[in-house]
Amino acid sequence: MKLATLLLPLALLAACQSAPVDATAAWKPAETNGAGTPAEWTTKLDAAHGGIMDVVTDNTGHNYNLLLSEATFGPDVSIRTRLRANSGVEDQGGGVVWRARDAANYYVTRWNPLENNLRIYKVENEKRTQLASISGELPKGWLDLSISMRGPRILVTCGSLSLGVEDTTFAAAGKVGLWTKADACTSFTPPQVETLR
């Protein structure tokens, strides 16, 4: 098993109140369907959660804001994080990316508190296709989000909501990351990523 928590080195976190995430080798900000204005991702210390990754953006439409790992994981993988929707008029919430070839091809699951739904998508050549969806209300504030994928089987849990689906579009190991849409400004805990054997 390969277990990794992707976050800034503790020495760097301790040295500053807030640091740009793209200053580290672990992550790379990116965008899907972007106009060349990637969201700003920062990492800061938090007494309750340790390192917190924040995204701030005023993008619109089908511009997807990503923070992708430099390393690859999987193909069978488990990812856990916590997220908190902070603001957004057009969109809110966010999610996790896995088996990503690049910023145009990946799986993503996301929670949207404006729509009260949890969904799984594939993004192929920058086109997003819904694979599964479940509706339900979750409390405001921090929510646990986890995904696991073995072979074609995807299982996702967010708070008390769960859903699953099978898909074979992306079968190889890939990058993992964090994701929001349009102007969704969200906080995440550093993802815990495990390559499953």
pLDDT digits (tens, 9 = 90+) for 99-108: 999 999 999 9
Q: What is the CATH number of the domain that holds 165?
A: 2.60.120.560
Q: Give the integer Cα–Cα distance in Å for 102 and 3.
A: 22
- 10-19, 115-124, 131-140, range with the lowest pLDDT: 10-19
pLDDT at 10 over 80: no
pLDDT, averaged across the chain: 87
Amino acid code (one letter) for 142: W
pLDDT digits (tens, 9 = 90+) for 122-148: 999 999 999 999 999 999 999 999 999
Q: Residues 182, 60: contact at Cβ < 8 Å? A: yes
Rg of the chain over CA atoms, in angstroms?
Answer: 15
193 burial via Cβ count (<10 Å: 0-12, 13-18, 19+): buried
Q: So what's the pLDDT on residue 82?
A: 96
How many percent of the chain have pLDDT more than 70? 87
Task: Tell me which residue range forms the domain holding 191.
Answer: 2-195
pLDDT digits (tens, 9 = 90+) for 38-96: 899 998 887 777 788 999 999 999 999 999 999 999 999 999 999 999 999 999 999 99
140 burial via Cβ count (<10 Å: 0-12, 13-18, 19+): exposed
In the chain, the number of structural domains is 1
Q: So what's the pLDDT on residue 48?
A: 75
pTM for the full predicted model: 0.87
User: In the predicted model, what is the mean pLDDT of residues 14-18?
Assistant: 36
* CB-based contacts of 70, cutoff 8 Å, min separation 6: 25, 26, 27, 28, 175
